[in-house]
Structure 1
Amino acid sequence: MQKGNIGVTTENIFPIIKKFLYSDHEIFLRELVSNAVDATQKLNTLSSVGEFKGELGNLTVRVTLGQDTITISDRGIGLTGEEIDKYINQIAFSGANDFLEKYKNDANAIIGHFGLGFYSSFMVSKKVEIITKSYKEGAQAVKWSCDGSPEFTLEEVEKEDRGTDIVLYIDDDCKEFLEEARIAALLKKYCSFLPVSVAFGKKKEWKDGAQVETSEDNIINQTAPLWTRKPSELSDEDYKKFYHDLYPMSDEPLFWIHLNVDYPFNLTGILYFPKVKSNVELNKNKIQLYCNQVYVTDSVEGIVPDFLTLLHGVIDSPDIPLNVSRSYLQSDSNVKKISTYITKKVSDRLQSIYKNNRSQFEEKWNDLKIFINYGMLTQEDFYEKVSKFALFTDTDSKHYTYEEYQTLIKENQTDKDGNLIYLYANNKDEQFSYIEAAVNKGYNVLLMDGQLDVAMISMLEQKLEKSRFTRVDGDVVDHLIAKEDKKANALEADKQEMLSVAFKSQLPKVEKVEFNVMAQALGENSAPVLITQSEYMRRMKEMANIQAGMSFYGEMPDMFNLVLNADHKLVKQVLADEEKACAADVVPLKLSIDDATKRRDELKKKQEGKKDEEVSTAEKDELNELVEKLDELKMKKDSLFIAYAAQNKVIRQLIDLALLQNNMLKGEALNNFVKRSIELI
């Protein structure tokens, strides 16, 4: 029996392994089962080239739970005593402190770097034994044992069969790994597609109301998963079944892409386009990354472009090391090539569906557009590829490519400055009357109700020449597309003022909402009152919801225009009644305002060009008194209009109808509207 110290230059390698080396304790099982599979595949290779002439027999790798042990057994090439000494006992570190300092932030990188897969066993074990016998003729079986200190023992033992058993004596603080369900879950996560059969216990069946073990091995993996097979051998049903094996609760995928390339890097896999309802984030990180059928991670940022992290499926590449680190992924040239290749494959697949079956492409557009829009927004080369077949959808559910749509609207939706105006709605029901008004005028209205459409609009205004997007409720229909310079106001200033003060006074108080009231000539057949919202301010607020650094727009109040149609008989009637009711009090006030304004303007003109000290105190005082007097007179005049408005039910009814049409009438205000409607009827 040989005793010795593991070849490290420090006493505390094991605490380092336990605490720092592996960021996730559960990967010990992946490492040890992968090693067993490697040993088995090596024997297969030796047999195929004639270097091993014995019977291969059953090569299943077995994971067995004892009372306080986990054993991983294989019938692979095994190890000699010399090989144990070389591969297990000689861990050459320059010193624990240097090691810790260098790798403390990137523990995962070390495993691959130092080939330390076996040592992950000490994260969960107080003692580890290796009982092994080499495939070589006449080899002596040996047992290596270590209790988590640098001391080990190595002795000759009897072992009938070639291969290796690794026995882990599980630590008291890791007893969870002795639970059958926990190990079954880890094997499913990491080992589902290993290329050699892995058995965990026996299959169970129901007998007399209880589950009993059968004599059949419980094989936990598919050794030849779908992505390792040729597409020509597979049916649509095979692809769908595999998708449901990976994501049991998901809807059927839209379609898939089978990846298979062996130059300039090795890559296989299947990527699925899932149905995405709304939340982008919830559907990220569903692509599983494998290295030679060994599960690595489902955090694939850096390997696939950001927008394709929305896809589901599997990527397998031996060119990405098993123990992969973030920094490695960001700097590795193979990874960059893989990313470019996947982007190209996706855009080619989308284009082929568009070209070969446009109606199918249009049917799936609502589900596809989140991927395509996300890609166009985040990757310039993807925009260039797909902008030829990306689609707009109008409010009649018709689809157009960007080029087709420009042709459709060019004649009727070009403004006086030569800009192409794209009108859009983001809610067909809420904006129905605005859409109808635009369509009646011969305009086409796009439906842009996707969660990325706000960002798409901003990008397309930069990409598409002389183009501007305007929401259909951004202005009254006659002003949405300015064909000529705006005419002067429909009403004289004092009449504008009478109406705006009266209507503004009756607007309900809505939190974080401000209204600007104005009168415009909209034609006697248009609605008496309309609510519009500035395209710029609304878009800034919408962008604030999805873009960091714009939150100050989100805090600003919503700004709406309440537009009174000066041509409508109801508004005309309100104005005539208001003039009549307020005339006796307003006329003398107006004379006083005119006199005070005239004197104020004279004083201001007199003081023009003078320094402050050159103006007499008397003149300064008189000017201040006039300003105060004008404020007071205006308040008196406004109070007359407000008093009139308070008892005019038509004003409040017209306001509430406009608010109701925009889904802005709620609570007490809605209740009052219903009562008033009944009274008026």
Structure 2
Amino acid sequence: MQKGNIGVTTENIFPIIKKFLYSDHEIFLREIVSNAVDATQKLKTLSSMGEYKGELGDLTVRVSLNNDTITISDRGIGLTAEEIEKYINQIAFSGASDFLEKYKNDANAIIGHFGLGFYSSFMVSKKVEIVTKSYKEGAQAIKWSCDGSPEYTLTNADKEDRGTDIILYIDDDCKEFLDTTRISSLLNKYCSFLPVPVSFGKKKEWKDGKQIETSEDNIINETNPLWTQKPNELKDEDYKSFYSKLYPMSDEPLFWIHLNVDYPFNLTGILYFPKVKSNIDLNKNKIQLYCNQVYVTDSVEGVVPDFLTLLHGVIDSPDIPLNVSRSYLQSDSNVKKISSHISKKVSDRLQSIFKNDRKQFEEKWNDLKLFINYGMLTQEDFYEKAQKFALLGDTDGKYYTFEEYKTLIAENQTDKEGNLIYLYANHKDEQYSYIEAAVNKGYNVLLMDGQLDVALVSTLEQKFEKARFTRVDSDIVDHLIIKEDKDAHVLEVSKQEALTTAFKSQLPNINKVEFNVMAQSMGENASPVVITQSEYMRRMKEMANIQAGMSFYGEMPDMFNLILNTDHKLLKSVLEDEVKECGALINPIEKEIEGISILRKEIQDKQKNKKDEDIPVSEKDELKSLDDKWDDLKNKKESIFSDYASRNKIIRQLIDLALLQNNMLKGESLSNFVKRSIELI
């Protein structure tokens, strides 16, 4: 029997392992099972090279529970006493204290840095035993035992077969790992595709209304997963079936890419395009990263570009620099090359589908566009490739490449400055009347209703030469694309004021909404009242919802223009009636305001070049008195117009119709509108 101390430069490694690695303690099972698989793979390699002449026999790795222990057994190469001393008893642990303090919240970093794969077992064990026998001829079986202190014992053991048994005596505070269901779920998570069969207990079957155990091993893994097979030997159904195994509750994928790279790095895998329409974050972290078929993580940022984290599937590469625990991914130039290669493969595949079957590509565009838009917004080199197959869809359901669409609208949608105006709507039903007005004008309107389309609009304006995107409800149709300067018929100021004041007084109070009322000549056939919203302010507010640092815009009220069409017969009728009803009261006020305005101007002219201290107090008081009278008279005038408007049901009806058209008429206002409509009928 041999006793000794494990070669570490700290007094006791084990409390550190338990303290600092506790949050990730479930990875112990992956580490021990992976080591067993490695030992088995090494024996197969030696056998294929002729260095091991014995029978391989059953190479299944077995995991078993027994009261307070978990045992992981393999029939791999086993260990000699010298190898135990080299690989188990000596741990490169110099400079540990500083490192442990720095990474105390990151178990994977510690395990990986110090090669502690096997020692992760002490996170859950009060004692660990290794019973092992080397494959080498005449080898003596040995037993290594350690109770969580630096001391260990090494004795000869009775073991007929080659290989290794790792026996973990589970700590009292980790009894959850003695639960069959818990161990089963961990094996499914980490070991589903290991290249050597892994057994956990026996298969069960229903008999006489209850489950009974059979004599057949319960193999938990698929040793030859789809990504390790040759693409030309696989059918579409194979890919779909594998996808449903990975994501049991998901819809069928749109497309997939089978990766198989052996230079300048090794990389295999299958990436699936899922049906993604919204909720980007909810769809992230679905790509599973493996290292030689050992599950590592589903946080693949760094290995794939950010926009590709929307894809689902599997990536497997022994060349991605992972630590011994296979969890701590380190960024280096190799990872960047892999990331770039995956991005290229994805864009090439999309280009190929678009080129070979455009009809199918267009049919799936609405499922694909969020993913492609995300890529174009976040990765410049992807935009360069994607601009050849990215599509713009119009309100008629037709699709165009960027170049095709530019050609389509060049003749009719170029303004007087030579800018190409891309008109768009983001809700076909809600903006129907605006779309209809634009289409009747001979314009084409894009439908940009995707989650990232608002952000894409700004990007495309920068990318396209002399181009501007304008939403169809951002102005009256005649002002969307100004092709020449026109002398519009302008209503005289007093009548404009009468009309706008009357309408403004009847606008409902809507939370965080402000209206600017204006009168314009829009033609006899245009709507009597139109609501528009500034393209700039609306876009800023929409961007505030998806971009950090723009919350200021998000807090601002929505600003709308209520435009009164002075050419429409209803507006002409309202104005004529208002002038007739209010004239007797307004005319004397107007004359008084005119007189006050003359007096104010005379005083202001006298004070023009004087400093404030040189102006007599009497003059200041007189000017203030005139200002107060002017304000008072203006308020009286507005009150007369408001009083008139409150009695005129047509004014409120026209306002409500415009609000209704923009989905802004709700609650009591909507109820009043319905009652008033019945009365008017």
* TM-score in same-fold range (> 0.5): yes
Partner of 2:148: 148
Partner of 2:244: 244
Residue 363 of structure 1 and its aligned partner are, at CA, apart by 0.8
Residue 156 of structure 1 and its aligned partner are, at CA, apart by 0.6
Residue segments in structure 1 that go unaligned for 5+ positions in a row: none
Partner of 1:101: 101
**2:44 corresponds to 1:57:** no
Partner of 1:227: 227
How far, CA to CA, are the matches of 2:96 and 2:250 in structure 1?
47
Residue 550 of structure 1 and its aligned partner are, at CA, apart by 0.3
How far, CA to CA, are the matches of 1:112 and 1:511 in structure 2?
56
SS class of match (1:586):
helix
Residue 70 of structure 1 and its aligned partner are, at CA, apart by 0.5
How far, CA to CA, are the matches of 1:529 and 1:97 in structure 2?
75
How far, CA to CA, are the matches of 1:49 and 1:164 in structure 2?
22
Contact 1:287 1:300 in 2 (8 A): yes
Contact 1:193 1:294 in 2 (8 A): yes
What pairs with 1:142-221 in structure 2 (closer than 5 Å)? Answer: 142-221=142-221
Distance 1:596 1:330, change over 3 A: farther
Contact 1:22 1:120 in 2 (8 A): no
Contact 2:32 2:72 in 1 (8 A): yes
Q: For each residue in 1:465-509, what CA deviation from the matched residue of structure 2 results, as whole angstroms up to 9, or x when unmatched?
A: 110011001111111111123545631111111011100110110
Partner of 1:643: 643
Contact 2:322 2:330 in 1 (8 A): no
Distance 1:215 1:330, change over 3 A: closer
Partner of 1:413: 413
Residue 326 of structure 1 and its aligned partner are, at CA, apart by 12
Residue 136 of structure 1 and its aligned partner are, at CA, apart by 0.8
SS class of match (1:145):
strand
Residue 321 of structure 1 and its aligned partner are, at CA, apart by 3.7
Partner of 1:300: 300
**2:253 corresponds to 1:253:** yes
Partner of 1:316: 316
Distance 1:166 1:265, change over 3 A: same
Contact 1:10 1:95 in 2 (8 A): no
Partner of 1:633: 633
Partner of 2:335: 335
Partner of 1:550: 550
AA paired with 2:199?
A
Contact 1:520 1:564 in 2 (8 A): yes
Distance 1:198 1:329, change over 3 A: closer
What pairs with 1:413-492 in structure 2 (closer than 5 Å)? Answer: 413-485=413-485, 487-488=487-488, 490-492=490-492
What pairs with 1:492-571 in structure 2 (closer than 5 Å)? Answer: 492-571=492-571
Distance 1:206 1:522, change over 3 A: same
Query: Larger deviation: 477-486 or 159-168?
Result: 477-486
Query: Larger deviation: 216-225 or 481-490?
Result: 481-490
SS class of match (1:301):
coil
Residue 609 of structure 1 and its aligned partner are, at CA, apart by 1.5
How far, CA to CA, are the matches of 1:103 and 1:378 in structure 2?
31
Contact 2:21 2:123 in 1 (8 A): no
Partner of 2:358: 358
Residue 83 of structure 1 and its aligned partner are, at CA, apart by 1.2
Partner of 2:286: 286
Q: For each residue in 1:641-673, what CA deviation from the matched residue of structure 2 results, as whole angstroms up to 9, or x when unmatched?
A: 000001111100110011011100000000001
Query: Larger deviation: 283-292 or 357-366?
Result: 357-366
How far, CA to CA, are the matches of 2:82 and 2:99 in structure 1?
27
AA paired with 1:540?
M
AA paired with 1:365?
W
How far, CA to CA, are the matches of 1:216 and 1:8 in structure 2?
44
Partner of 1:120: 120
How far, CA to CA, are the matches of 1:666 and 1:530 in structure 2?
18
How far, CA to CA, are the matches of 1:618 and 1:485 in structure 2?
50
SS class of match (1:161):
coil
How far, CA to CA, are the matches of 1:471 and 1:670 in structure 2?
26
Identity, % of aligned positions: 81
Residue 322 of structure 1 and its aligned partner are, at CA, apart by 4.0
Contact 1:520 1:566 in 2 (8 A): yes
Residue segments in structure 2 that go unaligned for 5+ positions in a row: none
Partner of 1:7: 7
The Cα RMSD (Å) is 1.4
Contact 1:296 1:323 in 2 (8 A): no
**2:271 corresponds to 1:271:** yes
What pairs with 1:660-671 in structure 2 (closer than 5 Å)? Answer: 660-671=660-671
Partner of 1:658: 658
Contact 1:22 1:108 in 2 (8 A): no
Partner of 1:396: 396
Q: For each residue in 1:378-428, what CA deviation from the matched residue of structure 2 results, as whole angstroms up to 9, or x when unmatched?
A: 011111111122110000000001111111111111111111111000000
Contact 1:23 1:108 in 2 (8 A): no
SS class of match (2:144):
strand
SS class of match (1:183):
helix
Contact 2:454 2:539 in 1 (8 A): yes
Residue 3 of structure 1 and its aligned partner are, at CA, apart by 1.5
Contact 1:37 1:196 in 2 (8 A): yes
**2:604 corresponds to 1:615:** no
SS class of match (2:24):
coil
SS class of match (1:331):
coil
AA paired with 1:577?
D
Query: Larger deviation: 66-75 or 17-26?
Result: 17-26
How far, CA to CA, are the matches of 1:318 and 1:494 in structure 2?
81
Residue 100 of structure 1 and its aligned partner are, at CA, apart by 1.8
Residue 22 of structure 1 and its aligned partner are, at CA, apart by 6.3
Tell me how many residue pairs correspond in the alignment: 681
Residue 330 of structure 1 and its aligned partner are, at CA, apart by 5.9
How far, CA to CA, are the matches of 2:326 and 2:375 in structure 1?
22
How far, CA to CA, are the matches of 1:133 and 1:321 in structure 2?
31
Distance 1:525 1:99, change over 3 A: closer
